[in-house]
Amino acid sequence: MSLKGNALIGQSGGPTIVINASLVGAVQEAQKTDSIDRFFGGIHGLDGVLNEKFIDLFREDDNVIDALKTTPSAALGSSRLKPKEADLERVLQVFKAHNIRYFFYIGGNDSQLTCHKISELAAGSDWEMRVMGIPKTIDNDLPITDTCPGFGSAARYAAAAVQYASKDAEAFGNGEVIEIMGRHAGWMTGAAQVGRLDDYMAPHLVYLPEVAVDIDDIANDAKAAFKKHGYVVVAVSEGLELTKSAEDEAKLDEFGHARLGGVAKALAGMLEEKVGVRFRHDTLGNLQRCFAASVSETDFNQAYAVGQQAVKLAVEGETGYMITIDRESDEPYAWHLGMTELMNVADKTKYVPRDWVNEAGNGVTEEFIRYAKPLIQGREVALPTGIPAFPRLQKHFIEPKLPEYVRTK
């Protein structure tokens, strides 16, 4: 069913290495249709929508748009704003003022919830429009979709970083604790084990937030690994869950407060005392979601495709859906695009299945490896050599049409 008007796209949540590939896929697909007159980009996600901070993406240089495909982080700027009822009413006013008939939102769990709310609001109003969610998150924790754009490249970086750090630990005969992003779901940390191609290689121990472990069990595992290999590398999620024992209750309380951003440091200190060898610690930090040199070809292709497909389906008449990636086979790896209603993914979390973690809770199974391997081991995407110089949008801003919005706290 034909619907003519303007389109708006925003980026939300934590940026990724390939989030701009989804943006470019959407823009380049929109350029092919007569249904979309102008394509606006919301600066800083929903904040930009509420404050009418839009740029005209069709006025940008085509070469710059194309070069953004391999530029990390969010070219439009991101946001973590969760809309209130008054915000949603303002959103609809903005859509009407700028004749926005298509809205696309690139993001994870919370972003898809926002997208769902906007879709429901539009459906119950007199304003005809199409709303589509475009998946993105390095956490890989959106349900329904087999994987999330952003995960493969970030996991590739984490797996490689563990291998690099392990050579230093092996050289000195030390212990090493490496903290990897993942507050509630351990997909990223588990994927680090894909790089362990032989028994002596790191990571020797892998701990995910889905399975609570005791500090004494971690120490015993580390002692055994050190005795066997002469060094030990532990990969741990930032959201590690520990069980408490009477012996370590005070330390575990302190450890709990340090969690989500200090788990590696705290755990390294405990293990150094309990194992009796020096333990270093590293936190991979924001490089996990912006180190473009580790981009996975599979991840890149999927990110571009979901952006492209969202626009294509919206123009064809679909609304209220998020694009999904559906796996056909592991070896050879094959996939196709699907879609699911936004209500199926909004504010929901996909955890690593318990049977994909070994019985001891200190590593992932072969089933996990079969799942993750094709997502991170694809051919590298060609990038400019030397120190990167990334393109920037010229940002031709649109004139606001509504009174200034004052958001209630």
Q: How many CA atoms lie within 13 A of 177 on its CB side?
A: 26
pTM for this prediction: 0.94
| H/E element, 92 | helix 85-97
Residue/partner pairs of 163-167 with CB below 8 Å, 24 or more apart: 163/195, 163/201, 163/202, 165/202, 165/233, 165/282, 166/201, 166/202, 166/203, 166/231, 166/233
Task: For residue 28, name the pLDDT band (cuts at 50, 70, 90).
Answer: very high
- How far apart CA 245 and CA 250 sit, in angstroms, is 9
- How far apart CA 20 and CA 71 sit, in angstroms, is 7
Give pLDDT tens digits for 376-385: 976 666 666 6
pLDDT reported for residue 382: 66
For residue 16, is pLDDT > 60?
yes
pLDDT reported for residue 247: 40
**Domain 5-150+293-348: which topology?**
Rossmann fold (3.40.50)
Residues with active-site annotation: 139
Distances 159 to 145, 156, 192, 225, 259 between C-alpha atoms, Å: 22, 5, 4, 19, 22
CATH of domain 154-289: 3.40.50.460
Task: For residue 371, name the pLDDT band (cuts at 50, 70, 90).
Answer: very high
pLDDT reported for residue 387: 84
Residue 234 phi, psi dihedral angles, 5° rounding:
-115, 125
Strands (E), 342-378: none
Say if CB 10 and CB 47 are below 8 A apart: no
Pairing mode of beta strands 175-180, 279-283 = parallel
pLDDT reported for residue 277: 96
Mean pLDDT of 136-140: 97
- How far apart CA 368 and CA 354 sit, in angstroms, is 10
Fold match between 5-150+293-348 and 154-289? yes
The domains of the chain are located at 5-150+293-348, 154-289
Give pLDDT tens digits for 220-262: 999 999 999 999 999 999 999 888 653 444 344 343 433 456 8
pLDDT reported for residue 319: 98
**260: left (phi > 0), else alpha (psi -120 to 50), else beta?**
left
Chain-centroid distance of CA 402 in Å reads 34
- The Cβ of residue 261 has, within 10 Å, a number of other Cβ atoms equal to 12
Query: What is the rounded average pLDDT for all residues in the chain?
Result: 93
Strands (E), 122-250: 130-135, 175-180, 205-207, 213-214, 232-237, 242-243
Give pLDDT tens digits for 252-270: 434 343 345 689 999 999 9
